[in-house]
Each structure stands twice: as C-alpha cells, then as structure tokens.
Amino acid sequence: MAELNPGPRPAGDDAVLPFEVAPLDVRGRAIQMGPAIDALLARHTYPDAVSKLVAEAVVLAVLLGSSLKFDGKFILQTETDGPVDMLVADYRTSGEVRAYARFDAERVAAAEAAGKAGPGMLLGTGTLAMTIDQGVYTSRYQGVVPLEGQSLEEVAHTYFRQSEQIPTRVRLAVGEIHQRENGRMQRAWRAGGLIVQFLPAAPDRMRQPDLPGGDAPEGVEVDLPDEDDAWVEAQSLVGTVEDHELTDPAVPVERLLYRLFHERGVRVFTPVAIADNCSCSRERVAGLLSRFTQDEIDDSIEDGRIVVTCEFCGTHYDFDPAEFADAEPEDGPN
C-alpha cells in the first residue's frame, strides 16, 4: 500500500486536493496557492506582514469552505483590537476567493519594526467568526471563537475542538519566491495549507483530552484520557510538515501527501480549482445605493458623483447621483 494512486490529474497550483488515509481514519484537503494568491494580494497595497496574514486567512477559508457539499459561501471574519482590526476572507463553492484587511498602517509599521508582526500579534484580541451562507432563503450558520493573540492555525484548532468536536489539525504557510519575468526578477507570493480530520466510524474513538483546567496546581500532572493511536500518529506526521514544503513549487501537494502518509497509503480525489475573483458588480452596488435614503445619497456625493470602491478588489463604481434622486427606498422603513 505504499503507492499513491495517480489521481485524475496533478492538482498543481491553486487547486484544493481532497485526500483520505483510510487506515488512519483520516480525511483532509491540501492546497498550494501561486498565481491566484499573488494576484489577490497584488490588488492591494498592504504591508508585507498584512499580506501574509491575508494569505493565511485565504488558505484557511479555502480549506474549510471547500468541504461544503452545497452551493454557498464560507466567510471567515475577524474583529479584533490589534493593528489589523478586521480581516475578511470568503470562499464561494464555485472555487472563487476574495479577501481584504482593515488595518492601522502606523501600528503595523511599529509592530514590524519591533519584530512583533506575527499573525497572532497583528490580530490581537477579539473574535473570529465563521459563517456558512447558503443563500437568501436559508438561515446562516455562524460559529464564533475568541481570538487571544493566537495564530489563525491555532484558532482553527480551538474552533474544531469547541464547536465541531472533530479532532482536527491545520497547517498554514505563506512565503515569497523570486522569479525571472520579462528579464527582470519579480517577487511572487505563495501560500499553502493542509487540514486533516479524524473521522472514525466509531464516534467514541474521537475523544479528545479536555484542555488542562485552571485548577491544577502548577507542576502537577493532569490525568488526561489517551487519544486514539491512529489520530496520535496522524498528528505527529502532520507535525513534521515544514512551512517551505507548503509553499515550494518544487514540492507539489501530491508529493507532500506521499511523504507524510505513504506507509499507510493515501488516496487523492479530484482537485477543485480555486480562482481569485470578486463577486462585486455594478448592479449589486447600484442595488445597495437604491436603498439609501435621500440624505444618505446626498452625503455620498463628491464632486457631483457617487464613487463606490469595492474593498475586496479595489474596483471603482462611478454613478450619476441623479440615478438615485427621489428614489423610494425599496426595503426602507416606510
């Protein structure tokens, strides 16, 4: 069982590869992002530390959102008190992603100068919400976990432990490569990640030790229930994944999965292509403006025009205010 089945085709860059390690009752998904993450970040002028954080959020949204079995949207959003006070990444089940960060440039620069610009430090304290949206006719599902200076990787573990109770390990990494393009050296962002989940047929094998309580005196060993051997093995294998293996174009995801799981036998499924694509449109923005009151319309006019900029992709939508003059608000209170 040392063979990795060839799969329909190599996933390549910008495609999520679902996989299964049946002898360990483990399922997961892996991705390496190249041109899509580079293009997404290139549309913004974020400081490097913020770009890194946004890329991590995109990879996490892709890894989590690509498990949805229906048409919809997975939205990951943080609201915190750190230099990056809001971070949004959303994944549509069509494979399209978009993301943006709101941040205080001075605080980010200070954090970078102090060497304290790691993802967890940039976010600070607040919450991470994960929303599954299946469209207007269904209710939204939302899970919220506290963020207290951890990385997105760590907060994902907290989420799965508390909300889903599925033993889960997530790895995220972001890096840059230098490549020659049109005779010049260019920087390009890359990102990658891996999620593994322990899903045995017998649910009692999924037991996880509770987090050590606060009552135990320091230095006293707390007796924790043992984790299942298969899950212990899977976690220790995932623990060997180096950041560069997740972003290096010379290490395709199939090769990484083979390195990790070849002794047990890993099976890969059809990859799902990911595209950097915003869902905004002129019609949508106009629809939004048409629900504004006349006062709100008046407040939005600058130099005789209303210009709305999409925060996700930077597209400017330019309107003549007359289009919305005296319009009755469609869903307004009256």
Where does this chain touch Zn ion (CB under 5 A) — which range of 8-16, 117-125, 220-228, 313-321? 313-321
Least distance CB 315 / Zn ion (angstroms): 5
Alpha helices in the chain (DSSP H): 35-42, 48-65, 105-113, 119-123, 152-159, 229-238, 243-247, 253-261, 282-290, 294-300
* Total residues interacting with Zn ion, rule: CB under 5 A: 6
Rule CB under 5 A: is residue 280 a binding residue for Zn ion?
yes
The single residue among 99, 132, 278, 285 that binds Zn ion, judged by CB under 5 A, is: 278
Residue 18 φ/ψ, nearest 5 degrees: -75, 145
Nearer to Zn ion, 41 or 194 (CB): 41
Least distance CB 308 / Zn ion (angstroms): 10
CA distances from 10 to 32, 43, 253 (A): 12, 28, 9
Rule CB under 5 A: is residue 310 a binding residue for Zn ion?
yes
CA angle at 246 for the pair 241 and 249, rounded to the nearest 5°: 135
Where does this chain touch Zn ion (CB under 5 A) — which range of 17-25, 191-199, 243-251, 273-281? 273-281
Here the tokens at position 289 are: 């403006």
Least distance CB 304 / Zn ion (angstroms): 24
Nearer to Zn ion, 85 or 276 (CB): 276
Where does this chain touch Zn ion (CB under 5 A) — which range of 55-63, 165-173, 178-186, 307-315? 307-315
Nearer to Zn ion, 312 or 324 (CB): 312
330 by Cβ neighbours in 10 Å (0-12 / 13-18 / 19+) ranks as: exposed
Rule CB under 5 A: is residue 17 a binding residue for Zn ion?
no
Rule CB under 5 A: is residue 99 a binding residue for Zn ion?
no
Where does this chain touch Zn ion (CB under 5 A) — which range of 27-35, 115-123, 124-132, 302-310? 302-310
Residue 167 φ/ψ, nearest 5 degrees: -60, 120
Nearer to Zn ion, 112 or 133 (CB): 133
Rule CB under 5 A: is residue 275 a binding residue for Zn ion?
no
8-state DSSP, 140: -
The single residue among 39, 144, 177, 313 that binds Zn ion, judged by CB under 5 A, is: 313
**Sign of the C-alpha dihedral, residues 33, 35, 38, 42?**
negative
Distance CA 204, CA 25 (A): 13
For residue 175, the surrounding DSSP H or E stretch is strand 168-181
Rule CB under 5 A: is residue 198 a binding residue for Zn ion?
no
Compute how many other C-beta atoms are within 10 angstroms of the C-beta atom of residue 273: 14
Rule CB under 5 A: is residue 30 a binding residue for Zn ion?
no
Contacting positions for Zn ion (CB under 5 A): 278, 280, 310, 312-313, 315
